[in-house]
Structures are given as C-alpha cells and as structure tokens.
Structure 1
C-alpha cells in the first residue's frame, strides 16, 4: 500500500461578532424611536369573559369549577347546561366556587339546552326578565354594573323532526330580538352558540345570520373553529364601533373532563377581554379572641377576685348586667378582641400539595406544547390533564370522607356538612338592627306578644262559659298545684352545665 497523504490544513480566523462594529457605519442609533411599552398589553387587569358550550355541566361540574378558578375568569357564559332536574342544587353547589354567583335559565319542555352565567360575586349582575316568550332559541339577558352594558347569552338548538324547530321561524324571532338590542343606548355583548357554520360561505343560514348583524351595525368577532369538527359555531357579537371588547377573542381547548376523566366537550372555549377593570377582591372583617393563649390559672384567679358572684342585688336585670360586664372585663384582659381583614378567595380547602404539583407539571407541559407545536408534546400535555383531573376528584373525595369520619356521631355537624354538599345551606339573614341587644329584645317582645294574642283568642272563644279558665276547660287537673318557685342554687346550675353536651355550639 502506498503512503496516504494527510489533508492539508486550512487556515481559519475566529473572532467575536460585535454589533457595534458591524452596524456602526450603517445605522445611526441616535435617530431610532423606541415605542412606549404597554404594561397591560394582554389585558390581564381587564374583565375576562369566557364562552363555553358545556354539553351538560352535571358530569363535569368540579372540572368546570377548577377551570374557573385556575384561569381567574370573571364571567363564564355557558350554553347547553342541561340543568332542570331536582338534583340541580347539588350540581350547582359543586359547579359554582365560593365567591361566585350564578344565574341560569333551564329548558322546561324537554331535556337538554339551558343557558347560564357564572360570575364573581363582586360584579353587579342582574337578570332581566323578558315579557315575550321565545320558541326558537333560549336567551338569558343580564345587566352588568348598574346597566353599564348588557350581556345576552343565547343558544339555538339545531332544527330536527323531534324539536320541530324551523330556520325561517328562528330568523323571525332573531330579527325581532336584534331590533330590541339596538334600542339599548349602552354597550351590548351577545354570546352563545347559534349552530350555524359561519366559516362556510355555502351555508345559507350562516350567510343570512351574518347579514342580519351587518344590517344593524353589529359584528361577529370570533374567527376560527370553535367546534372539534372545524366549524365556527360560537359567537361573540358587539357593535361595529364599540370599544367594549379588547382585541380579537381567543379560542382554547379547555381540557375539561367529566367525572370519569373522559373528554366530553365538543366545543372549545372562547375568551374575550372586556374594557372594564377587574373588581377588587372581596374583603371581610373578622373579630377574634385568642382563647387558646389564655393562662388558665391567672384567668381563674381574676374571676375569683370579682365580686359579681356575691352580688345580692334583688333586681335580676342589674344582676345580669353586672355579671356580663365583670366577665367581659376579665375576658378582655386575657384575650382582647382583635380585628383581622381577610381576602375572600374561592374555596379550595381540599387542595393539597399533590394537586398543586400536578398543576405545575401540567402548566410546564402546556408551555412546551405551545412552544414546539409537536404532536408528542400535545399527547404528553393531554395525559397530564387527565392525571390532574383524577387527582382533583380524588382529593375532594378523600377530604370529605375524612371529614365525615372525624365528625363521628355528631348528627348536627353531619347534617350541616351534607346540607352544604347538597346545596341546601343558606345564610341566615337577620332583620336590620342597631345592636344585638336591641335585636334580641325585639325577638323577645315578638314571641311575648304572640303568646298574649293566643291567650286572648282562647278567652274570646270561650267567653260564653262563665267562671271557667279556658286552659283548664277540657282536662280536669288532679295533681299538686304549683304556687311558687325557688331560685336554683349555684351548685344546681353547675351540675346542669357539666351534664350538657359539650359539642353544642
């Protein structure tokens, strides 16, 4: 074999690129104008309105609840809620987070359908009842923040032989409805699912629908498929020259799953920012006493030094006042009243480290999917969404199972817990009053007056019978007559208190 020639060395020069050296002779940097940065370019401080065709909230209430909280949605407009049965209270209790309210209209004549608005409680949203009944589509109309703008949620079922709906009749009602909205002087937003293929130029119904909007100076803002089959069915409509909406609506695959962690939505969510600032979070003032920090021995000593036990005032009212004031003074000394301001947040009491970790992993996978747009990363993201949903459901189940076990045989607490889960818990609304003392006296006078009225009615009913007490007219009393009462001693009262159920609150 002959000798091989080694490759000749090619001389190379390596140097660091310098932007200043490269462009200094071409560009005069001093003439550049830098645009002002916008701190709210994505509208994060504006109201977030989301539209979603739920295809029944009953089997995915918890997942929608979590979606609301995770995305900090201010107003969620739902179509096809499928509410309307006797189990609605239980579903709504799981669907609506703490700090949110709901308005909904259910379909009455057949199953399915229904529209709803779930909103943060610090938004003033009031439903408006329409005088004329609609037959071709469902409508929920609400005024927002003292009629600052009107929000309309609509749903039109696709015509079929079973529902006997007709497109021609729909347009008669639809045009009349649009004429009604144009009479309103403020801003309007119409959202919903009309079941027209608005992306298909050959769809006659879709073309006629678009023309009905343009004839009245309205614009359909959603562009892109909102259904898994690639059609635009969901709409967000506003006036042509309106500034109520910020930018174009965005379309998102929600990855909401049902109770069995199966994907059951055939629509995507549509997000839009409203040109109104988000309301401040609700705050609540609490008054607390740190009872657990009390030095028991010192507390007992201070009680013993007070003389209210030995007070011999014959006036029971003065005795009670003295008793209350002395005890309150001792309590204020050892555990003074403290005021605490807390921010009201949605109820996530069953959220633990496991579910938080699952959500972090899900968000990482979502960012990777959006960055690479690869199918493999999309599958990983979907798998983590399913896992997160399973953990969410299991966490809530374990939380309430443990809570029921801890309650044991305390039927009062168990009834209160189950009542809340079934959506039957109602806040006690007391009459307006200046002080608790004044309110308690009003209650006392009410019942005393009621007893007097009953006695008076009994006397008037028996006024024909002479010298007979109406309370003794029916039964002959054979026992010993009670003529006077002796006050209970301190020992007797102490025994009664010690025998009482300590779980009573």
Structure 2
C-alpha cells in the first residue's frame, strides 16, 4: 500500500512477512506499539531507469618497509586488513630475481611490480596491485640516484602512478633528474600520481630542498597532499603529489615494524573498470558426491533411436542428475584466501594484533619488543604452514607437469593473468568478432584453386588400401576412451566430466550406443560442434587493452571428445599400417618428436659440411595454420590417402557447420560460424592437419631438397657441393612452387618472418645471394631458432648452450628461494622440472661438443646438486653426484643417444633415424656376427674426426658397440634404459658404482 503526502518524498511500504494488506500490526517491544503507521510514511517514486551507482574511490597505502625479508607475512596481513587496491612499498631490500620473497608479501589476488637497486644493497620499490583491475606496467626510466616503478590503471586516459625512492645519501642534483622525468610524465598522463620516500624534510619548517621540490612540482601541475610527520623522528619524508586528481588523506599510522609511518589515502578518481559484487551462479563442489551422482543416474537410458535424440537425452538426464545433488546457487565473490592459512595461524594473527594494540597504547620499548618477538614467531609459523601445504601439492602433482608448473608459478610469478571476468574493458562480443574476422581477413586474398593443387600433387593409386567404415566399439573400449585424457569440462557440458568418469558402470551402455550410432551413420552430433573460447593474454608483459595480444583457448564438449577418441584410434591405426603420412612429419606421432627431427636434420648438415660442402636451412613461417585449413582441400587429401565411405562422410560431418562462442564475465557471446580450420583443442585436429600438409614435403623433395616438419613448423634444407656465391636455380624453382602450393591451399605464408641460415664458411652468410619468397627478398641470418634450439652457421651450438645455461641458473635461483618451503624430494621435483630438464632437452645435439661448452652445462648440474644436498663449494662434486645417482652431463648426452638408437633399431622411433643405422654384417661368418653390433661409417664416408664425434650416424654406432653384449641383447625399453644407465654410471664413477 502506498500513501502519498504533500512533501513529495515517497516511500514504498511492504505487506509484512505474511501479507496483511493495510493493517497495522502491534509489535512486541515496539516503542510506540505499532510496527508502522502508513499515514506517516512518504511515498518513494519508482525509477524504472537504471540508477548509476556511485563508485567507491580506490584506496592506497604507502609504507617504508626497511627490508621485507623477515616480515612478509606481517606486511601481507597489514595490506589485507587495510583493504587497499594499491600498496606502495619503499626500501624492500630485495635483489633482482628474488621473486619468491615479493610473492610472499603480496596478498592473494595481487600482482607485484618491482624495481630493485642496481648497485649496492638496500633500496628497491614495489607496487602491489589488485589483479582484477585493468592495469599495465610502465618501463622504468633511468634516473641517477633514484629508484622508481610505475603503472597505468585502465587506458592511457586513466591514472598513472609512479612510486619513487631517493636514498638519504643521494646528492641534491638527483632531484633535478627526477623533476625532468616528472615533466615528461605530466605531458604524457593528464592524471598523475607521484609518491614515495623522497628523504627531504618537508616539515612544518621545510628545508630548502623541500621548498624547491614542492614549488617545482606545483609548476608542473602537481599538488602535495601529505601534512604532518611521517617518520618517528618527527620529519616529513614521505610525500604524495597528484595532478588531475584529488587525494583524500587518512591519519598516518604508526607501525611497529618500521621507523616510518604508514600513509593511507583515497584517490578521488574512478577506479579501473571491474566487477565484483555480482553473484555467480555455480554448483557447490562439496555437494558433488560420486555416490549420490551414481544413485541419480540409476535409470540413465536416453530415449529415442536417432543420434540427435540420444545426445539430447544424454544431456537432459545428466543435467537432471547434477541438479538433483548439486543445484546451482548464487554465490557472492569472496576475497581470495591463502589455502595454507590455518586456524592456528588465524589465532596467532589475532594475538599479534592484540600485541600491536598494546604497543600503540603504551608506546614503550617493552611492548615493542614483545610485538617484534612474537612477529618473528608468527613469520616462522607461516613458513612452516606454507612448507607443509606446498610440499603436499607438489607431491600430488609430480606426475602432472601442467599442474606442477602452475604451483611453481603461484610461488614465483609476480604478475598473474588479468582477470577478464572482472574487466569491462572488452566485451565477449568484441573478442568473438575479432577472433572470427582475423581468420576471414587472412583468407580474403587466398582464393582456393583445386585444379592447380591437383596438378602439383601426385595422384593416388586406385589399388591402394582404403578405410571406408568403422569397427564397432566394445564396452571395454568405451571404458578406455572414457578414462583417457584430461577430464576437462566445457561450459556447455551438462555436468563436470570427472563425475561422468567416476560412474563408468552407469554411463557405459548409453555412451556406447551414442558412439556406435555416430560411427555407423557417419554423422557427428551437431550439438557437440560448438566450442567455448576464453581469451588468454599471450604474455603478462603485453598490453591487455590490445585484442591482438590475446590467444583464443578453445574448450569442446566432453562427449564429443570421447567420440573423437574412438575415431582417432582407428584412423591412426590405418595411417600407420599404410604409411600414409609423410615419414618426415614428426608432429603428434608416437615415437617422434622435436628432438628426433632435429637429430636427423643436423646429421645431414654435419655430414655435408664434412664432405666440404655447404647447406641452406630455411624455416617457413605460417599464420594461424590450423585455423586456415580449407575443408574442400582437406576432403580431397583425405580421399587421396584412402579415406572413403562412411569414414569420409563422418569426417565431413565433424568439420562442417562448426561454431564458437566467447565466454567472458559470466556471459557468452553470440555464435560465430567457422568456415575453415580444424577445431582447436580437438583430438583429431593434429592428425587431420598432418594429412593436409602431407603433399608439401613430397613437393619439396621433388626438387632435390630435404624437408622435415613438426606440425606447421616446416624446415627446408638444400645440400650443396662447395661454397657457391649464390643459391642454385633449383632453390628458386622450389620456393616458387612452395609459395604457389601454400597460396593454392589457402595457407598464409609470412615471408618476412621466414628465416634462412647459410651453413659453411663463416663469410657465407654475408656474401651469399638468396632468391625471394612471395616477393620478399630472403636475407641469411647469423643464427636461427628452430623448435626451441638455436643454430649458427657452423652448428657450434654455442648460442644454444649459453641460452639454456642462463635460463637454468635463473630457475635455480628461484628454486633456492623456494627451498625453505619444500622437503628435499619436493625440491628435487622442482629443480628437475624447471632447471635440469633444460639440460636434457635435445641434448643428443650436443654430441662431441668442446669441453669449454659442456663444462657450462656441467656447472648447472653441479649447482643443482649442491642446492639439493646443501653441499658447500669446498665439497668435491663427484661424491655429491654419486649420492644423487646423477649421470654427469657428458654421460647424460651419451645415454640419450643410446636410447634414441635403441628406439630406432626396434621400431619405437621414426624411420628416418632407423635408415641412418645398419647392423654390422661381416663378409665371412665370425663369432661376432650375432653380437648385435652396428656398422661404423668408415673414413671414406666420414673424413673429419669432429664429424665422427658429432654426427648421429657416426657417434651412435660407436657408442652402441661400446656397450656390453648383455645390454645390447635386451629388447625391452625399460630394461635397456636401466642397464644402460648402470653401465654408464660405472664408467663415470668407477667399476664399483651401481
């Protein structure tokens, strides 16, 4: 009931808890006896339009930490209790690379920007910013005697913040350099905030330096907002300047862990666009009990006979089951909490706050001492809790590399991914349009010419084997496909995939019916052709406002992936049995990898250099190759390898009428159709892409060039006799044909990003003349990077060794910071995952390297061993490596080569490595005939000693023959690896080692 009065101010009166119309009910305990009197209430006019909500000004805190090393937990609790959006810390005393200490100081959900002092100890400034706010880091200028770090909130029209620290010993001239920088900032950013510890006395009676600084700032449009002392000696050393904004200061706070006061302020400026109060509809994880889910699925039997009815029934009944046990509820976003923060720590935190209040009241030395003693106890308890939690997490993730690296990043990374769910800068529709238009623009100038392609590609013989139907899937196959792969869940799935995997008995029969009907009819369900895409920033250092800096990460329905596994198994088996794929394609194939491809490539190049010749290595670069696959051309190439009948029909159905939506901020964009490409994230996509790219390698080899491929990474190489001044005409014709094939296949070639390396004499790269590629003149480079390995003109591997040792030592320094929180087995896991594994990647390419290079790798291994065991530099390294049972680097290289040799000999590796090896066959029957030895190339085949030591085809047989006869006779890979390592271990540490 609404009652209007003459005042024009309105109020809406409810009907009470149980209704009741206009009656006034007496309420017990009411002062006047009635709950309300309608005649005294004023009507509130309803506003049907949306009322804009006033923003809450962002808050910040500025403090001088005087070393954060032993007070990270205290600082983190302080920032959390203040509820700030930005924390500014001076005098961190953190050196370059000590990211773990900075990460400890940051509350959950905060990123850290830090600038350390470049010379000497002390100093350092850090900005801690909420990750759910849009921001980007600014490059720190070089100002003599000044340390500074900056960021921009939102777009460039938003607020720029610079944190400054000027040491007390800095000369007065440093302020002049600072003012020059501020003048540039003021021109670039109309809204500017400059704050920090300037170490000048801006007291009630300011010093001349302070007067000059404040007046100079005023001429640049910056006002000073701090008043009163900011140091326990009574001086004002910490200042806040602002232009284009108003800063509302709170009373300064005395803190027992620093001789400076902490300053808190609110910035009268709209915060970066972010959400935070809207409820999120989600299912409580604690209610998802597998036993209850099985009970809800007891009558799972999707009705209908058609594939569409079966899939719809599957989704409907799974959704009903999950709604029964865990219905969606509106959940308010909560502040991120550290998972290791236990109840005991909460109690200690309360006790620490109590001691702080005692100190604030007493202001004596005894209470301050009590606080600081208990603060150290609290810090130690926090480290112990973190050690227990992260040790358990690392132990559980030791066999899951992705999860392990995620844990390590959470401990070491200063900047997280921007939370796009809480960011209004870009809408999901903007991302969806950008991702779709990007591919369409690339295809615009690439008309398909199927007739030209057919002329370039060799026709298929009609008598070859074909795959025209699928075999029926058994219940055991359904269980195997169900448990294979990662249980990722798509937002379009009716329930979490891990729950489905936990109920194999209940889902086996309906799932088998869906798979067999799909394979038998040659139809992929249309309900499963839609992907949900989430934008992912390629690097945290990139501008989050630029859409081109995002990578689309696709997620497909779980049921569709299970069906794909059934197809992939039969299709892959057919391709292997018929050798339909190019033998030099190493991408996504069992027994193949980047290392096997590079071993074969370098072996060819080394052997050519050994013959006195030279070589050209060309690395082609393609744009969005997987997204550009033309379906009509793929259909032609599938038929060319023998895919016919129902199988070809099913693959056509799988690729046609696909679409994607972008998920962002709890919303889904409209559907955008995909007219080309193989689905990102699909199990079949790599296999289909390899079939699509198959003719390219055949085309290249028809011109006499070599070709290795790893998915869309294509390496062409030409071996030449002597050292010609220009590339032969064969290369020109080959590149023209390759460019024509790619253009006809509607694949976008990037000639400007294609790299060329001329191998031979040192001057070849400067004077060798190369042809053009798609109208762009090719220029040889001094070095190129292929599949993560750096090659130079002489294949010295020096640049590669330097790069991996630098990266390995960086991760070892981070592992040392993590050591206090990890047990020894967990520390070993982290060290191997981040540092020593880099020594093993493609280390078969390091065969025969000079001692000065292998010693660089050995130093990395030695440092890792000392870190893990706690050994000192005075301890000899051999007993340490022996204790850990680690092979030295030289023997690790030999071990990798021998394992590759074993795989190649017994069909576990690629054929292109097997073709480089041959069994030793003496001309007459000898006792050594059956010793499983390999033929070692003679001096006529390999002239130089360096080539004999470094080429795989020469070094592998030599090392294989040096193994014991018992080891060479083994046929099981696991047994061979064990025996081979034992033998090499004895060679490295003496015959008594085992």
Work out the CA distance in 2 between the residues paired with 1:221 and 1:386: 35
Correspondences of 1:145-156 after superposition (within 5 Å): 145-146=154-155, 147-156=157-166
Correspondences of 1:28-177 after superposition (within 5 Å): 46-83=57-94, 85-88=96-99, 90-108=100-118, 112-129=122-139, 133-146=142-155, 147-159=157-169, 166-168=171-173, 170-177=174-181
**Conserved? CA contact 1:294–1:335, under 8 Å:** no
For the pair 1:358 / 2:348, whether they are aligned, the reply is yes
**Conserved? CA contact 1:282–1:344, under 8 Å:** no
For the pair 1:397 / 2:390, whether they are aligned, the reply is no
TM-score normalised by length of structure 1: 0.63
**Conserved? CA contact 1:354–1:391, under 8 Å:** no
Work out the CA distance in 2 between the residues paired with 1:387 and 1:355: 11
**Conserved? CA contact 1:198–1:206, under 8 Å:** yes
Can you list the C-alpha shifts for 1:194-239, whole angstroms capped at 9, x where unaligned?
Answer: 2223339585434433443455564433344434554332211236
2:851 matched residue in structure 1: none
How many residue pairs are counted as aligned between the two chains?
Answer: 400
Name the SS of the counterpart of 1:281 in structure 2: coil
**Conserved? CA contact 1:284–1:344, under 8 Å:** no
**Conserved? CA contact 1:69–1:346, under 8 Å:** no
Q: Which has the larger helix fraction?
A: 2
Name the SS of the counterpart of 2:101 in structure 1: helix
**Conserved? CA contact 2:110–2:129, under 8 Å:** yes
**Conserved? CA contact 1:150–1:189, under 8 Å:** yes
- Larger RCO (CA within 8 A; separation ≥ 6): 1
For the pair 1:281 / 2:276, whether they are aligned, the reply is yes
1:114 Cα offset (Å): 3.3
Task: Describe the shift of the 1:415–1:284 C-alpha distance in structure 2 as closer, same or farther (beyond 3 A).
Answer: farther
1:236 matched residue in structure 2: 240
RMSD: 4.4
2:253 matched residue in structure 1: 252
Unmatched 5+ residue regions in structure 1? 1-43, 160-164, 257-264, 466-470, 477-505
**Conserved? CA contact 2:302–2:310, under 8 Å:** no
1:197 matched residue in structure 2: 201
Can you list the C-alpha shifts for 1:401-454, whole angstroms capped at 9, x where unaligned?
Answer: 55567x397565656544533439976955548973646824447534641354
For the pair 1:447 / 2:444, whether they are aligned, the reply is no
- Within the candidate set 299, 302, 312, 1:302 is matched to 299
For the pair 1:268 / 2:261, whether they are aligned, the reply is yes
TM-score normalised by length of structure 2: 0.35
For the pair 1:459 / 2:698, whether they are aligned, the reply is yes
Name the SS of the counterpart of 1:101 in structure 2: strand
1:76 Cα offset (Å): 0.8
Work out the CA distance in 1 between the residues paired with 2:333 and 2:293: 33
Unmatched 5+ residue regions in structure 2? 1-54, 418-533, 537-550, 558-658, 661-677, 705-909, 916-994
1:75 Cα offset (Å): 1.0
**Conserved? CA contact 2:225–2:241, under 8 Å:** yes
Task: Describe the shift of the 1:408–1:134 C-alpha distance in structure 2 as closer, same or farther (beyond 3 A).
Answer: closer
Name the SS of the counterpart of 2:183 in structure 1: helix
Correspondences of 1:463-502 after superposition (within 5 Å): 463=702
Work out the CA distance in 1 between the residues paired with 2:686 and 2:121: 47
Work out the CA distance in 1 between the residues paired with 2:88 and 2:204: 25
Work out the CA distance in 1 between the residues paired with 2:317 and 2:231: 68
**Conserved? CA contact 1:299–1:330, under 8 Å:** no
- Within the candidate set 209, 224, 229, 2:213 is matched to 209
**Conserved? CA contact 1:358–1:387, under 8 Å:** no
Work out the CA distance in 2 between the residues paired with 1:206 and 1:362: 37
Work out the CA distance in 1 between the residues paired with 2:77 and 2:245: 30
Moved more, 205-214 or 289-298: 289-298
**Conserved? CA contact 2:280–2:333, under 8 Å:** no
